[in-house]
């Protein structure tokens, strides 16, 4: 516990806290625990967090600490799908990190519990915790339960495909709207939200077996109360993120994301987190293990199950036990236990949801890094969600400079089987903000083209999206990458098994086009996104703001 609240220099600090109702014993003799609550009444992943925060505070008080709750921003990216403002989502990760760093530093907390549920908010609070580097626990909001329509399970990821082209006032659309989000919680696919919830546990910053507890289960509040008690012990032991986050545990996270067929966005977040933690991690690590580790998790979109099913099957400990031959088992976690000790008692209760290495969903792995003359640095594909017939394909390019242009072409029948759509200038600096290309990807599925048309972009995808779609192409088009030089009709070839992405043009032709290319005018010239565009790294370095 720090001494910033004792002595003459702390008179004003004590006066301020007494104005909030704390007494001398609270202020001087107990550890102060910041409770970062990313509550948002209009986002299902965060709408229920106040109740969980109360359980956390009960645990802190019970263990002899003083909880101090404060807010950090959160959003639901699905609120803005189809609009240009979707570009704000990834930059929001840095805004959340700054909020955590700002408040925690000014208030001199001895420890932190960070409560978050969704895509960019979880890595945002984790970045903030790494910067502050006081004892910290990340608590996840959990997954929502699944809905049902005409006897079929419905998840939020199904909404776009099921309703595209339908009358918004039709009974079917209204019914789907009403049941897609049955309750609070993160969307119950292996999207970015649940992928990152799992990463909090794999990285040792969450309590074992708790990351995937569904949002409305009573177990979620019990786990929150336990975390509140545990953080006080961690403060006493001075167990900080820097004591836990080393290269070995980051590699465990890389391998787990591949094995579970996690979101491609997790790669961005792990790279940014490792950079903040001063841990060496690069696309080469993802490339290496993407060629070794099969995908064994049957959660949508790689399989047909939900994250609720995954939790019932044994959750993260059961998954880690299945891939233990690939993991560093002696790394420590916030409990003081090693990964090996945690998974020793784990049981896989459903071999259809969490398979063995001998019976994978996809032997090629969940994620692959592609390289070639169209992606000299790297590109990413979720290989576990690509039809076998599209693991190797080539075709003529149809080029678009915005997601909205791509979806318009699909709806107008201008995209045909065998085409390769190119959607560019949607990268970190070009969009700016590296937009999720959700309109075009959903349209390919809705129009039955997801097994015959490829899509290449320097943008990224929602964790909902699936099919022969390749994103995170670097260098991005706005930075003069080869994607900027593609013209309609150019032949693009993809070989996922051999990890290649090429355009069938000579170096001489590419050089000639490069001479003529001019960087487009910046789309945003003020505000948060202008700042982000000036300071962000490329996608293969995590796309975070840094100098």
Catalytic residue positions? Answer: 462
Instruction: Judge whether 125 and 96 are in contact, CB under 8 Å.
Output: yes
Strands (E), 38-92: 66-71
Q: Which tokens in the block code for residue 1?
A: 């516990």
List Cα–Cα distances, 477 to 266, 277, 325, in angstroms: 22, 29, 40
- ∠ CA 115-117-123 to the nearest 5 degrees? 80
What DSSP assignment string belongs to 435-469? -B-HHHHHHHHHTT-TTT-EEEESSB--TT--SSE
- Return the closest-CA partner of residue 368 out of 497, 459, 192: 497
Residues in the chain: 547
In 63-166, alpha helices (H): 88-107, 121-132, 159-163
Q: Quick one: three-class SS letters along 488-521? A: CCCEEEEECCCCEEEECCCHHHHHHHHHHCCCCC
**Contacts (Cβ under 8 Å, ≥6 apart) of 524:** 432, 530, 533
**Dist. CA 144–CA 124, nearest whole Å:** 21
Instruction: Judge whether 270 and 257 are in contact, CB under 8 Å.
Output: yes
- Return the closest-CA partner of residue 541 out of 328, 365, 167, 283: 283
**Dist. CA 337–CA 334, nearest whole Å:** 7
Q: Which tokens in the block code for residue 426?
A: 């949607």
**Dist. CA 4–CA 295, nearest whole Å:** 49
DSSP designation for 79: G
**Dist. CA 219–CA 202, nearest whole Å:** 19
Q: 10 Å Cβ neighbour count for 515?
A: 7
Phi, psi dihedrals of residue 337, rounded to the nearest 5°: -80, 155
Instruction: Judge whether 154 and 427 are in contact, CB under 8 Å.
Output: no
- Sign of the torsion formed by the C-alpha atoms of 27, 28, 29 and 34: positive
Strands (E), 265-317: none
- Return the closest-CA partner of residue 154 out of 168, 175, 171, 184: 175
């Amino acid at each position: 516990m720090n001494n910033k609240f004792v002595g003459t220099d702390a008179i004003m600090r004590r006066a301020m806290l007494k104005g909030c109702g704390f007494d001398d014993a609270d202020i001087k003799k107990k550890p102060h625990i910041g409770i970062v609550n990313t509550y948002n009444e209009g986002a299902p992943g965060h709408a229920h967090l106040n109740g969980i925060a109360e359980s956390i505070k009960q645990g802190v008080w019970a263990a002899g600490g003083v909880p101090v709750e404060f807010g950090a921003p959160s959003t639901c990216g699905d609120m803005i799908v189809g609009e240009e403002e979707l570009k704000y989502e990834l930059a929001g990760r840095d805004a959340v990190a700054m909020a955590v760093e700002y408040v925690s530093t000014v208030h001199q907390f001895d420890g932190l519990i960070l409560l978050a549920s969704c895509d960019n908010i979880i890595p945002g609070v984790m970045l903030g915790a790494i910067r502050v580097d006081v004892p910290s626990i990340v608590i996840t909001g959990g997954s929502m339960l699944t809905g049902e329509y005409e006897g079929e399970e419905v998840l939020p990821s199904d909404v776009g495909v099921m309703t595209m082209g339908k009358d918004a006032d039709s009974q079917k659309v209204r019914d789907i709207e009403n049941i897609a989000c049955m309750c609070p919680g993160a969307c119950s696919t292996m999207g970015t939200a649940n992928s990152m919830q799992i990463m909090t546990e794999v990285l040792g910053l969450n309590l074992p077996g708790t990351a995937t507890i569904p949002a409305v289960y009573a177990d979620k509040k019990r786990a929150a109360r336990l975390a509140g008690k545990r953080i006080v012990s961690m403060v006493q032991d001075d167990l900080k993120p820097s004591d836990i986050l080393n290269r070995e545990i980051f590699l465990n996270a890389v391998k787990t994301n591949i094995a579970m067929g996690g979101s491609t966005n997790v790669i961005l977040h792990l790279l940014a987190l490792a950079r903040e933690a001063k841990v060496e991690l690069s696309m080469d690590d993802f490339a290496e293990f993407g060629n070794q580790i099969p995908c064994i998790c049957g959660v949508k979109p790689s399989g047909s199950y939900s994250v609720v099913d995954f939790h019932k099957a044994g959750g993260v400990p059961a998954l880690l036990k299945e891939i233990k031959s690939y993991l560093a088992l002696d790394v420590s976690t916030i409990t003081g236990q090693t990964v090996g000790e945690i998974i020793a008692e784990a049981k896989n209760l459903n071999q259809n949801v969490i398979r063995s290495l001998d019976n994978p969903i996809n032997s090629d792995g969940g994620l692959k890094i592609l390289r070639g003359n169209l992606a000299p640095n790297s590109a990413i594909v979720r290989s576990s969600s690509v039809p076998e017939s599209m693991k190797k394909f080539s075709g003529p390019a149809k080029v678009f400079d915005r997601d909205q242009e791509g979806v318009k072409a699909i709806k107008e029948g201008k995209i045909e089987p065998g085409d390769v759509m190119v959607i560019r200038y949607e990268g970190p600096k070009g969009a700016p903000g590296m937009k999720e290309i959700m309109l075009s990807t959903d349209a390919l599925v809705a129009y039955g083209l997801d097994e015959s048309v490829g899509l290449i972009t320097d943008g990224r995808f929602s964790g909902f999206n699936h099919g022969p779609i390749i994103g995170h192409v670097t260098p991005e088009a706005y930075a003069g990458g080869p994607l900027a030089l593609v013209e309609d009709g150019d032949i693009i070839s993809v070989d996922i098994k051999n990890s290649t992405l090429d355009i069938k043009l000579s170096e001489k032709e590419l050089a000639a086009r490069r001479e003529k290319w001019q960087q487009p005018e910046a789309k945003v010239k003020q505000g948060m996104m202008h700042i982000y565009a000036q300071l962000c790294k490329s996608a293969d370095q995590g796309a975070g703001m840094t100098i």
